[in-house]
Amino acid sequence: MNSFLFSPTSSLNCLRSVLHVAFDVARIDHGQLYSTEKGTYSNGAESFLSRMRRAEIGHHHHMAGAYLIRYAQESAWREDHRRVANGTQVKAVATLAMAAPTSADWCGYWQRAVKKAA
């Protein structure tokens, strides 16, 4: 992954740092090979981070660090369901939203409510 794709203050840099801590990360120089003998390749990660970057520029406009995990979860859901019909996606999201309890993260978001320390 080329570091010049992200600005130094980007939330996606934070996401990459978390991934490097949590997982064994290998880099691939595509000028020399596309995957290793062990089966290591970066297409899935590059695809996901590309979609995250496009989401930040496009429909989200900004991804606050405090909510980065939620944005990543939404992008992962979109990635997993990108070949499912739109009507089926809407029905699934509506069903899940109606069954879910009040979100501790998003409750009061539009009102800019300050979270109380636990």
- 14-27 mean pLDDT: 70
The continuous run of DSSP H or E covering 79 comes out as helix 68-80
Query: pLDDT-derived band of residue 14, with 50, 70 and 90 as boundaries?
Result: low
pTM of the model: 0.56
Residue 7 has pLDDT above 50, yes or no: no
Query: pLDDT-derived band of residue 53, with 50, 70 and 90 as boundaries?
Result: confident
pLDDT score recorded for residue 10: 57
Per DSSP, 77 falls in state H
- 75-87 mean pLDDT: 91
